[in-house]
A and B are shown apart, each in its own frame.
Chain A
Amino acid sequence: MQDYASTLNKTSYQEVAPVPHRFPKMEVENISKVYSGKGKQLLTVLQNINIKIFSREFICLVGTSGCGKSTLLNIIAGLLAPSAGEILIDGQSVTGRPGSDRGMVFQGYTLYPWLTVAQNVAFGLQFQGMSKGDQRDQVNYFLNVVGLENFANNYPRQLSGGMKQRVAIARALANEPAVLLMDEPFGALDAQTKEQMQEFLLDLWEKTHMTVLMITHDVEEAIYLSQRIYVLGVGQVKGEIPICLPTHRELSIKLSPEFIDIKRQVMSTMRQHH
């Protein structure tokens, strides 16, 4: 077993963010990923990544494209095996084993086109041995949460991009994961829809108190949504920045001086060279 008290003493998370629980919901421990390239050359994609997420936190991983953030999220989700390191959920190792504890929302549309919206949301529930009646209740509840109860019997192709992502979020949440992982979920949306979806997601987070780890290259999106930001450089964590903004945020906060100060801080961290 892991000695949580000692690991917690070494870090200073309690000072940077008020945490409702003592133990992290999820820990990313010394994750490295090395690919063997041509000949005997080794390509290090991730080097010694350490991240902790506490229950009910909204964390963003920010980095430019090619910094390895998608690789990291895939490792966290268990879809890819790391070269070294561990992923712990509630202190249990889940490295390299994907499961319903880490729900994932991808950038591309991953709804199943042959299933209706309701059937898509119910997809994960059938594996839990849930009765049909309970499944229906769960699906209705989460479709209500994302405001798509009137589209239960539509097929995905009849929905707009933003609606598709809301279904994808409802589908991930319906399994009640310990952590919701999001891989640039709004990357394919237009600017207006993107802001609407950010507002929607923040509202959803306030309502449901889910634990979220999201990766994005959009600094404003990261600041607006999260309590803490990890800045990812070439395969390394360059810095951890707490977002000292009120929990309840309006979109207009993006124009406030505090917001812009944080943005400056994040961007300068991103530009730093190791």
Chain B
Amino acid sequence: MLESISTVPVSVEPIKRKYSYLSTSTFWSIRQGFPKRLSLVLVAMSLVIPLAIWTIVSTLQLVTPTFLPTPLAVISAGITMFAENNLWGDVLASCSRVLVGFLLAALIGVPMGLAMGTFYSMDSLFSPLVGTVRYMPITGFVPLIIIWAGLDEPSKILIITLGVVLYNVIMVADAVKFIPNEMINVAYTMGASRWDVLWKVIVPATFPSVLDTLRVNISGAWNFVVIAELLAAQNGLGFKIIQAQRFLQTDKVLFCIALIGVIGLGLDYALKWLSKVLTPWADQVRH
């Protein structure tokens, strides 16, 4: 019986089965390639459209100019500030605060993150603290910081450092945990000590992620420098913003905000370039 079934070809009515297919789409493509031209058009649109709306709304005075100045007014306000109000000094003041605060946050956060990611003991010791303090808004600490550290430079730098350091710790610790076990184990089978593993495997393996972490978190440092300068400062971009606000100079406010954005973008590209130069061996996709 079985043989007859398998040898005699039986003509069977094809069963009407409903299959489901993926419809074609260029715009909503998910990892199926994207035309370069469309990408460029969309990038241009994302910049041009908001700018156009701003220009139209402000030029036609649909909103009071005091609330929304024209783009041209903002640029000319910027030129005036550079020429007459010593804006370079403010840029320098803010940049140096960011630099010092951020470097401190890196000097504390990176080793602490490495230690927490590497050793269970350090993780157990520090993660309750880091995990709790992380959810406390740093802006809430600002009055305390001012009481403790005064109104001078140290308090501003402290605000930046405290704001950024925990993110450095958490992100670096996570990067260490992504190192495959075998990469560490193989070092032991070559006679490496734990110290060797820390310095010759864990540190170089996490180096690209550490650079990435710092690049992401420097934007946080810019947030906190403005907060610090809004409260108490004699110079800096945040100070300029609060000063302009007092005189309803929205054009100046907007220019300072845009300037911070441009500086941030520049730093981002510089750090991306740096990590490309320093880690030519890394083949992971950089964002």
Determine whether the beta carbon of A114 is less than 8 Å from that of B207. Answer: yes
A79-B185, A127-B196, A157-B283 in contact; A112/B191 too (CB < 8 A)? no
Contact with A along B97-139 (1 / 0, CB 8 A): 0000000000000000000000000000000000000000000
Contact with A along B160-191 (1 / 0, CB 8 A): 00000000000000000000101101111111
Contact with A along B189-211 (1 / 0, CB 8 A): 11111001000110011010000
Complex: how many Å from CA A108 to CA B185?
12
Complex: how many Å from CA A144 to CA B279?
28
Q: Which of B190, B192, B279, B280 has the most CB of A within 10 A?
A: B190
Complex: how many Å from CA A155 to CA B282?
10
Tell me, rounded to whole Å, the shortest Cβ–Cβ distance linking B178 to chain A: 13
Determine whether the beta carbon of B182 is less than 8 Å from that of A106. Answer: yes
Q: Which of B185, B189, B201 has the most CB of A within 10 A?
A: B189
Residues of B within 8 A of A113 (CB): 281-283
Of residues 97 through 140 on chain A, the ones whose CB sits less than 8 Å from some CB of chain B are: 98-100, 102-104, 106, 108, 110, 112-115, 123-124, 127-128
Partner of A114, one of B185, B186, B189, B205: B205
Partner of A103, one of B182, B189, B281: B189
A155-B281, A157-B281, A157-B283 in contact; A100/B182 too (CB < 8 A)? no
Residues of A within 8 A of B204 (CB): 112, 114
Complex: how many Å from CA A156 to CA B180?
16
Complex: how many Å from CA A124 to CA B205?
17
Contact with A along B15-27 (1 / 0, CB 8 A): 0000000000000
The interface size bin for chain B is: 20 to 34
Determine whether the beta carbon of B190 is less than 8 Å from that of A106. Answer: no
Partner of A98, one of B188, B201, B282: B188
Please, which residue of chain B has its CB at the minimum distance from the CB of A128?
Answer: B191
Of residues 12 through 46 on chain B, the ones whose CB sits less than 8 Å from some CB of chain A are: none
Tell me, rounded to whole Å, the shortest Cβ–Cβ distance linking A213 to chain B: 13
Partner of A123, one of B190, B207, B283: B190
Please, which residue of chain A has its CB at the minimum distance from the CB of B200?
Answer: A123
A171 proximal to B (CB < 8 A): yes
Determine whether the beta carbon of B189 is less than 8 Å from that of A99. Answer: yes
Complex: how many Å from CA A168 to CA B196?
19
Tell me, rounded to whole Å, the shortest Cβ–Cβ distance linking B287 to chain A: 19
Q: Which residues of B contact A (CB under 8 A)?
A: 180, 182-183, 185-193, 196, 200-201, 204-205, 207, 279-283
Identify 17 new A-B residue pairs, CB closer than 8 A, beyond the known A112-B205, A114-B282.
Answer: A77-B185, A98-B188, A98-B189, A99-B188, A100-B190, A103-B190, A106-B182, A110-B180, A112-B183, A123-B190, A127-B191, A127-B192, A127-B196, A156-B281, A157-B281, A171-B190, A172-B190
